[in-house]
């Protein structure tokens, strides 16, 4: 059986490799980096994603590195009061059959990779950048360039899956639709041990602070010992790089924070003041997926950010990549008599409407979260009066089978 080729070894690529090898399909995963990134921020995973991790035998490993918060609390960043509280623990697991967790991206990637590398059906190569591909009678042949030796090699497989992120080279070869669009929003992030903060700033739950042209998300990771803080603002100076771990100059940070935090309550101001190290990345976006052909054509398909990059205002980037991996693996293994092209098309048909809905909701939230004036007052009043109903999303957490 020819291996299924996966270009890109992030969350989606590793999840797909794991899902396929568990069902007896060989894979060859090729990553452009010298090693898998140890950078990243916190990740929130809803039951739609943790359900799949549990099915893949990762529940014990997840329990070792994740945090299981009790509540989501949404606050007004200006006045500090709580607008709505949502139960994330027992109620969530009872309704959807899987927990809501928070964890470090590196920890999630590590547990996926350990499960993949433990399977003899998986081959992993690093420093391999996608160049081009050609269909053959037996499948597909793909050219990769070794970053160190600059030697091009051709790898043969059944199909090619592009999971190479928001700057996907596979996407450009397949769709040719150019780079994603800058949003003008920049995410500043910090990850630090909670013991480095005053005890009054510690947190065991997920907190979201909504303010004019900004919002801040705070939650525990690594078993609650560390705190993940993400401050997303409409920046005065958007970085040119796509790198999600940029060290910005102190004067730029000062200007951004001064503008974003003006009028914010003491709690928000104090937490930001107590954090010395910040990294940033610019937020980019694409229009929502419109049809299956944007996810799969012929013997090539896309998953994760390569397929449907989305803004982080619904905390579903990693969750959608894990869902992609599950659905694609099911489509690939279910019917042996179908052609590879048909299997990939079936994946795309099952996924395109769901990921488009999540993309659209994430973009809508970017406006709602950063609202000012009358829209902000209407948002806050609605959350206080109808909050639990407004933020209840069974369509999202029930997942897609």
393 contacts 92 by C-beta, under 8 angstroms: no
Cα–Cα distance, 281 to 241 (Å, whole number): 8
The CATH number of the structural domain formed by 4-179+286-397 is 3.50.50.60
323 contacts 398 by C-beta, under 8 angstroms: no
Burial class (CB in 10 A: 0-12, 13-18, 19+), 394: exposed
Strand partners, 21: none
- By C-alpha distance, which of 50, 2, 10, 48 is closest to 27? 2
Cα–Cα distance, 45 to 53 (Å, whole number): 10
Q: Is the dihedral of CA 219, 225, 231, 232 positive or negative?
A: negative
Cα–Cα distance, 185 to 173 (Å, whole number): 28
Residue 34: the pLDDT is 67
The order of strands in the sheet holding 4-7 is: 122-125, 27-30, 4-7, 160-162, 300-302, 296-297
Helical packing angle, 11-21 and 317-334, nearest 10°: 30
Burial class (CB in 10 A: 0-12, 13-18, 19+), 307: buried
Strand partners, 160: 5, 300
Residue 393: the pLDDT is 93
Tokens for 278, please give them. Answer: 């910040």
Cα–Cα distance, 224 to 207 (Å, whole number): 14
Mean pLDDT by 10 residues, the chain (401 residues): 93 98 97 71 95 97 96 96 93 93 95 94 95 95 92 96 96 96 92 95 97 97 95 76 58 83 95 90 94 98 98 96 98 88 97 98 96 95 91 90 56
Residue 185: the pLDDT is 93
Domain ranges of the chain: 4-179+286-397
DSSP tag of 150: -
Q: What does residue 29 show for φ and ψ, rounded to 5 degrees?
A: -100, 130
Q: What element of type H or E holds 187? A: strand 181-193
Mind giving me the DSSP string for 261-311? STT--HHHHHHHHT----EEEEEEE-PPP-SGGGTEETTEEE-HHHH----
Tokens for 134, please give them. Answer: 């050609």
336 contacts 173 by C-beta, under 8 angstroms: no
Span between the terminal Cα atoms of the chain, in Å: 26
Q: What element of type H or E holds 104? A: strand 101-104
CB neighbour list of residue 236: distance below 8 Å, 6 or more residues apart:
252, 255, 256, 259
Tokens for 366, please give them. Answer: 């970017």
Identify the three-state secondary structure at position 51. helix
383 contacts 74 by C-beta, under 8 angstroms: yes
CB neighbour list of residue 60: distance below 8 Å, 6 or more residues apart:
none
Cα–Cα distance, 48 to 95 (Å, whole number): 11
Cα–Cα distance, 343 to 341 (Å, whole number): 5
How many CA atoms lie within 13 Å of 160's alpha carbon, on the beta-carbon side? 30
Q: How far from chain centre, in Å, is Cα 268?
A: 25
């Amino acid at each position: 059986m020819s291996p299924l080729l996966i270009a890109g070894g992030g969350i989606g690529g590793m999840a797909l490799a794991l899902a396929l090898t568990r069902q007896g399909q060989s894979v060859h995963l090729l990553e452009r980096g010298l090693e898998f990134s140890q950078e990243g921020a916190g990740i929130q995973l809803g039951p739609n994603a943790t359900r799949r991790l549990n099915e893949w035998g990762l529940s014990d490993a997840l329990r070792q590195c994740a945090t299981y918060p009790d509540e989501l609390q949404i606050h007004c960043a200006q006045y500090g009061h709580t607008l709505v509280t949502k139960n994330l623990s027992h109620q969530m697991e009872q309704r959807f059959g899987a927990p809501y967790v928070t964890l470090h991206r590196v920890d999630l990637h590590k547990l996926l990779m350990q499960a993949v590398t433990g399977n003899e059906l998986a081959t992993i190569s690093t420093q391999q950048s996608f160049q081009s591909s050609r269909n053959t009678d037996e499948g597909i042949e793909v050219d990769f360039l070794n970053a160190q030796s600059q030697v091009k090699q051709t790898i043969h497989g059944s199909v090619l899956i592009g999971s190479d992120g928001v700057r996907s080279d596979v996407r450009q070869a397949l769709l040719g639709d150019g780079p994603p669009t800058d949003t003008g929003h920049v995410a500043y992030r910090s990850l630090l041990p909670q013991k480095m903060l005053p005890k009054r700033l510690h947190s065991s739950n997920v907190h979201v602070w909504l303010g004019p042209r900004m919002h801040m998300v705070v939650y525990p990771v690594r078993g609650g010992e560390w705190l993940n803080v993400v401050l997303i603002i409409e920046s005065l100076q958007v970085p040119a790089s796509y790198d999600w771990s940029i060290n910005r100059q102190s004067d730029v940070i000062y200007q951004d924070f001064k503008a974003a935090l003006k009028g914010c309550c003491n709690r928000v101001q104090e937490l930001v003041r107590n954090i010395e190290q910040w990294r940033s990345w610019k937020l980019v976006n694409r229009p929502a997926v419109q049809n299956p052909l944007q996810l799969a054509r012929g013997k090539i398909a896309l998953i994760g950010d390569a397929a449907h990059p989305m803004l982080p205002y619904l905390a579903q980037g990693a969750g959608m990549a894990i869902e992609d991996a599950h659905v694609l693996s099911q489509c690939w293994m279910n019917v042996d008599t179908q052609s590879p092209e048909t299997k990939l098309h079936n994946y795309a048909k099952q996924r395109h409407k769901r990921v488009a809905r999540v993309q659209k909701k994430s973009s809508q939230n970017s406006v709602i979260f950063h609202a000012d004036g009358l829209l902000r007052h209407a948002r806050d009043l609605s959350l206080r009066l109808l909050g639990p109903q407004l933020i209840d999303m069974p369509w999202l957490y029930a997942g897609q089978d």
